[in-house]
A and B are shown apart, each in its own frame.
Chain A
Amino acid sequence: MSFMSGKSLSRRTMIRGLGATVALPWLDAMTPAGRVLAAAAPPPRLVCIEMVHGAAGSAQLGVERNLWAPAATGRSFDLAPTSLASLEPYRDVLTIVSNTDVPSAEPYSTREIGGDHIRSSASFLTHAHPKQTAGADVEVGTSLDQLYAQRFGQDTPIPSLQLCIENVDQGGGCGFGYSCVYTDTISWASPTEPLPMIRDPRVVFDEIFGVFGAGADERARRRNRDDNRSILDWLSGAIARVSRDLGAGDRSRLGDYLTQVREIERRLQAVEARHGTGEPRELPGAPAGVPDSFGAHVKLLIDLQVLAFASDVTRVVAFKLGRDNSNRAYPESGVAGAFHPASHHGGRADRLLEFAQINAYHVSMVRYYLDRLHATADGDGSLLDRTVVLYGSPMGDSNQHDHKRVPFFLAGRAGGALTGGRHLQAPEGTPLSNVMLSLLRVLGLHEMEAFGDSTGTFDLNG
């Protein structure tokens, strides 16, 4: 492929996009990824991106007009009429899977009817049915990104990152007996442990580089790490001590916190263990905050993800681009109307096309991501070679609030696990969980027999 042989930019060029670069040597562990990776062939990187509100191409008329899925299956598909048109240069690494459903997001009983927007995100990567509760006893399933991170993310300082674009619920968006966390995150460490998502680029930057050794010089960085280690060490004892005066429920809650403190200690040790090699590198200055524009915000967070991959801080990211019921508008898409009202297009052709324009704009963010991955050197190739980006929505036809024929594709070959360059149309009624199960299997969780409500596997390279 032509782009594969294209000139890869240096890491320094890449990070310049973030703002002024400052001399900030950090982790010595930031060995040029390729040199180490080539020897050990580490697991591929996994990015899971969710967009809400389905797609115009999931509505009846949208299917007929190929607004999401191309007309032809196999290799000679035409992206031009679809919302994926901007991905044309990457068609050879695309695996488009159409015609699957997310039945776990549907109502299971009458009192759940009307909660589609609230259940949707919780089902996206879990394919489990969220328990209707407003309290702490939330329950859905372990998400795909976490299953992967729990197996393959443990060698990096941060097993996985959770990022988002929209704020947490601002009041009124969630309700009807459902906890807001179902709409706030797509990442679940276990069926009962939602993982918070970070929105502010400054927090993302610090999460990637901060605790693990930011500082003006090597001595300061080492001192910061030492301080944090001794504080964490002390904290374990302090938590045990204050627990004594508390009731059983609160003791167990502090126990949960202690588990997280230990996890950070583990990560810090992982960083220390990787020290002593490498040379000082330049890092970008920390970003300034949340940009007003959707596009600028998404791109900034993508830059940070690419930076995290390039420095091998993490290999797994869950990235939530939207929020159900959002009335945000995307003027950059050329459509003035707000997202949620636009998604209720009434099946009318003119409004469907407008909605497709918004869908296409969102997919253009993936184009940017792939460009960045492709432009960043990783050993003899680029980061894109050993990455897979999953993109989709747990809703199908948003006008009907259904979860059928949901938009979904994979971009990247994940180090050869995926062949790419194909449009696969699933048989009617195939749950998307079959596709995700097969993805987990080709990514190395070979022994997995089932995932969520899966009914079987799905040949992604067929």
Chain B
Amino acid sequence: MITPTAAGLLAVIGMMAAALTSTTEARVAAPQVSSGSIAPPDGDAIQTYCLPCHTDRRRSGGLSLAGFDVAKPGRMAEAAEQVIRKLRSGMMPPPGARRPPPGVLPALVDGLERAIDAEAADAVNPGSRPFQRLTREEYARTVSDLVGVEVDVTGLLPPDTTSAGFDNIADVQPFAATQVTSHLRAAAVVAERATSTRSNAKVFSCRPRTAAAEAACASRIVRDLTTRAFRGAAAPEDVSDALAFYARGRQRGSFPQGIQLALQSILVSPRFLFRLEPVTGAGAVRRVSSEALASRLSYFIWGRAPDAALLVATRGGLNTPEAIDGQVRRLLADPRSIGLASRFARQWLRLQALEDFTPAEAVAPAFDRRLVTSMLRETELFVDSLVRADRSVLDLLTADYTFVDQRLAAHYGLPPVAGTGFVRVVLPDSRRGLLGQGSVLMATSLAERTSPVLRGKWVMEVLLGTPPPPPPPNVPSLDDSAKAVQNGVRLSTRQRIESHRKSPQCASCHRFIDPLGMTLEQFDVTGAWRTEESGAAVDAQGELFDGTAVDGPAGLRRELLDRQLMVLRTFTENLLTYAIGRRLEAGDMPVVRAIVRAAEADGYRVSSFIRGVAASAPFTMTSAPR
């Protein structure tokens, strides 16, 4: 039976991928997004309301729309996507500029999207990236699954370069000598610990009782280890090579020492450290192999290597919409899908910033690292609960519950909770969703005061996908000194921000940024609730860039829900970026929009986004690099 959900998803798959036949190359006509003739968007609106500033000469905001053809927006895809973003978020034309009558801009942006998406549907372009190296965190999880050893990777491996906020973007991971020595070292440490006791069943799948039985047992162990370590890609030479290392270790030591050396070599093999994706088939656009797809799926949803069931599934051919969907459901239902919370969401939400954050003692005397740990755990449990219950992605903003331990309950001013663990609790309106969580609020603070600017920037970048431009040179910062006083009274953060915004140069950007962050002023540096700052009542009201009055976190949530399409697309962009390990380009946006469209019919459930990504062309295919 095809449920409405499945039908919606299959439509996406159909549009993006299914038309690809299994044997031949891939320039495939896919079904049209919408049937019938598409009326071209109204070009006059661009001419009248955009071009006066976005000329080749003025390039306001770095964008020129000279020569932009609304009937063929795909020819200037990057500019077109920028226009779509700014119009969807309501940020353009800017406050004070002439605006068209209501209805004109929505019609323009709808038309642009339709035209671009229809064009994209005619030519599948999955994009490409180099192979991925296991990130430090993936290495730790993979090794833990493989041989049952927990290693503190931060003391063994150098950190991964981030790009677009994520640590797994393939093309920015260069190779240096440090990586080779680190991998050698880590392999030695892991292999020694994994073989130090023969009771480790993850390694010793058999135990030879006689010398004569050793060879067969070693061979079995090595076959098992290579199969799992190389994620289904072990060749006969891989097994014989590792067995040669076994023989070397056995010759000078014991049976376990032989296995130890074999394991050490397996752990530095390029088949283990790198997610190599062999070229299969011919043509410019190809489906990735079943083995490669198994790894893509498991590292996306779990942040770990494929399990036995996934590897078995590759034998029957994994790269079909039905097989993928079945595995996605299975992987999501498995507790290991907490990787979406701990790996994906943590990076999307920029929570790594907390690793180095210590508030000034004057503003947070009770602070210690355990508070950070509790906050990160709270967000992890919260996001994971949405995955588990398959709730709407919008619940990230609106959920009326969270998870707290005793420390956090007290920190948030909630009724005390019992026990040492985390307990699900119902929240007051002001603290609902991510915007009420200490992790987000602290990651967007400065050491000695809150920063409505950083919080506003976070909302624009992380939730709305419209990061503000960099500040120009010669920008004075807020007056942070204790001497920031007026008539003998220390100025509040709001007062200092407002004086900052009087300069027209600053105002052109900060009128977008600051009011968003100002609504969260009732949360202090550590995310605790406050009603006073510097002796005055905290004022969390503001006026958004489009003139809407907004008050406090609930008000901000309402405004974000009013722009929920942007929130959902931004979530999807980040999810897809993380899933495929490359930065998105303008050409990927039709896929993003299609995933969100399909999820709408499904109430924006988490699973519809995961399934949409897993079925998409960028995830299941690759094209020869340009």
Contacts and interface: CB of A to CB of B under 8 A. Distances in A.
Indicate, yes or no, whether A interacts with B.
yes
Nearest to B158: A196
Contacts of B62: 110-111
B155 A289 contact: yes
A94 to B, nearest CB: 31
A210 B360 CA distance: 38
A168 B163 CA distance: 11
A196 B159 CA distance: 8
B154, B447, B475, most chain A CB atoms within 10 A: B447
Nearest to A288: B155
A338 B353 contact: no
Contact of A135 (B175, B347, B457, B583): B583
Nearest to A227: B261
B378 to A, nearest CB: 19
B281 to A, nearest CB: 12
Contact of A114 (B155, B355, B472, B478): B472
B522 interface: no
B481 interface: yes
A235 interface: yes
A329 interface: yes
Contacts of B268: 231, 235
A249, A328, A347, most chain B CB atoms within 10 A: A249
A345 B62 CA distance: 28
Contacts of B479: 346, 351
Interface residues of B, number: 85
Interface string B337-370: 0000000000100101101101011100000010
B305 to A, nearest CB: 17
A202 B186 CA distance: 12
Given A198-B158, A238-B269, A292-B358, A134 B448 contact: no
Contacts of A270: none
B473 A341 contact: no
B178 interface: yes
B200 interface: no
A69 B174 CA distance: 39
Given A167-B159, A245-B279, A341-B480, A400 B165 contact: no
A139 interface: no
Given A113-B472, A249-B625, A168 B448 contact: no
Contacts of A341: 446, 477-478, 480
A325 B264 CA distance: 41
A353 to B, nearest CB: 10
A60 interface: no
B356 A171 contact: no
Contacts of A199: 159
B155 A196 contact: no
B171 interface: yes
Nearest to A172: B350
B159, B361, B471, B483, most chain A CB atoms within 10 A: B159
Nearest to B356: A167
A264 B180 contact: yes
A224 B188 contact: yes
A242 interface: yes
A87 B353 CA distance: 34
A257 B175 contact: yes
B214 interface: no
Interface string A190-227: 00011111111011001100110000000000011001
Interface stretch (B1-9, B142-150, B270-278): B270-278
Contacts of B181: 206-207, 210-211, 264
B184 A346 contact: no
A249 B130 contact: yes
B446 A254 contact: no
Nearest to A402: B473
A402 B237 CA distance: 58
B179 interface: yes
A234 B162 contact: no
Contact of B624 (A110, A169, A206, A247): A247
A181 B161 contact: yes
A186 B172 CA distance: 16
A203 B62 CA distance: 42
Contacts of A193: 174, 176
Contact of B162 (A180, A189, A200): A180
B469 A114 contact: yes
A249 B278 CA distance: 12
Contact of B130 (A207, A238, A250, A344): A250
B161 A184 contact: yes
B320 interface: no
Contact of A171 (B162, B179, B269): B162
B356 A136 contact: no
Contacts of A198: 158, 178
A171 B473 contact: no
Given A171-B162, A181-B172, A346-B479, A203 B350 contact: no
Nearest to B347: A171
B220 interface: no
Contacts of B182: 203, 206-207
A210 B155 CA distance: 12
B467 interface: yes
Interface in B250-301: 252, 261, 264-265, 268-271, 274, 276-279
Contacts of B277: 246, 250
Given A167-B159, A234-B265, A264 B184 contact: yes
Interface string A347-379: 100110010000000000000000000000000
A202 B615 CA distance: 42
A310 B118 CA distance: 67
A115 interface: yes
A249 to B, nearest CB: 5
Nearest to A162: B178
A443 interface: no
Contact of A328 (B264, B279, B447, B477): B447
Contacts of A290: 154
A246 B279 contact: yes
B177 interface: yes
A232 B245 CA distance: 12
B163 A180 contact: yes
Contacts of B562: none
A450 B157 CA distance: 37
Contacts of B350: 170-172
A117 B180 CA distance: 31
A399 B185 contact: no
A230, A260, A354, most chain B CB atoms within 10 A: A260
A114 B184 contact: no
Contact of A250 (B131, B237, B356, B361): B131
A45 to B, nearest CB: 19
A70 B170 CA distance: 48
B185 A327 contact: no
A331 interface: yes
Contacts of A332: none
B155 A261 contact: no
Contact of A238 (B270, B352, B446, B471): B270
Nearest first, the 9 A-B pairs at minimum CB distance are A114-B470, A344-B477, A245-B278, A401-B473, A136-B171, A202-B155, A346-B476, A329-B447, A170-B352
29 contacts: A110-B59, A114-B469, A114-B471, A134-B163, A134-B583, A136-B130, A171-B350, A179-B172, A195-B176, A207-B181, A228-B188, A231-B187, A234-B244, A239-B270, A242-B270, A250-B131, A253-B130, A254-B274, A260-B175, A261-B180, A264-B177, A264-B181, A327-B446, A329-B447, A336-B360, A337-B481, A351-B479, A401-B475, A402-B473
Interface of B: 59, 62, 128, 130-131, 154-165, 171-172, 174-182, 184-185, 187-188, 237, 241, 244-245, 248, 252, 261, 264-265, 268-271, 274, 276-279, 347, 350, 352-353, 355-356, 358, 360-362, 369, 446-448, 457-458, 461, 467, 469-481, 483, 583, 624-625
Given A175-B467, A341-B446, 8 more contacts: A118-B470, A134-B164, A162-B178, A167-B352, A203-B182, A224-B188, A232-B184, A341-B478
